[in-house]
Amino acid sequence: MIGETGIWGEEEQGAHIFSYGVARWVAKNTDGIVYDFGAGNCSYSQYLHEVGKLVVSVDGFQIPELKIKQDLAVSFDLGVRGNVLCLEVFEHIPPQFESVFVENICRHCSDKLIISVAHEGQKGTGHVNCRPDWYVKELFESKGFTYLPDETQSIRSCAEGYVAYLRENLFVFKR
């Protein structure tokens, strides 16, 4: 069952899909700590850890591998800044919680933000806040981030066919 703030329940956990290409790109193109916001089943966190990255998994649903149980739509501060990876989470956060969610991302990101946001009209379990590209770019640029079009195109090209929506939904920003 999906919670009021967009947290997935046990039934939805199996819906997480992993892209090796995107994970390899993140590993190759980040330095320092990587927060995996909305880690779900921790597949990206596990991959990044296995290749030697310092990664912290954060999600509202507690599973054994998860390091930190935290509702992303409630303000929090983990005290350390770094890169933030946030894949296919934004569209699950109801609009009334979007600003707190975005502030949590901004508070923890001191380097790269790698985020995907389902585009308008994209079907999916629990999609309540899909956004167009221009909205995502303007939102994070207004928060002091610089959109990186070449890196965005690079990571998008790494997404395999079974996650083709990531070729549209991924963005890379720099703080």
Q: Which CATH class is domain 10-174?
A: alpha beta
Determine the pLDDT at residue 2: 53
Q: How far apart are CA 79 and CA 56, in angstroms?
A: 12
Percent of the chain with pLDDT over 90: 74
DSSP 8-state secondary structure symbol assigned to residue 171:
E
φ, ψ for residue 142, nearest 5 deg: -70, -15
Determine the pLDDT at residue 3: 55
> Over the stretch 109-130, which tens digit does the pLDDT of each residue have?
999 999 999 999 898 877 899 9
Determine the pLDDT at residue 5: 55
State the chain's mean pLDDT as an integer: 90
If we measure between CA atoms, which residue out of 27, 26, 29, 2 comes closest to residue 13? 2
Tell me the domain boundaries of the chain.
10-174
Determine the pLDDT at residue 39: 84
DSSP 8-state secondary structure symbol assigned to residue 134:
H
Determine the pLDDT at residue 65: 61
Burial label for 68, CB within 10 Å (0-12, 13-18, 19+), is middle
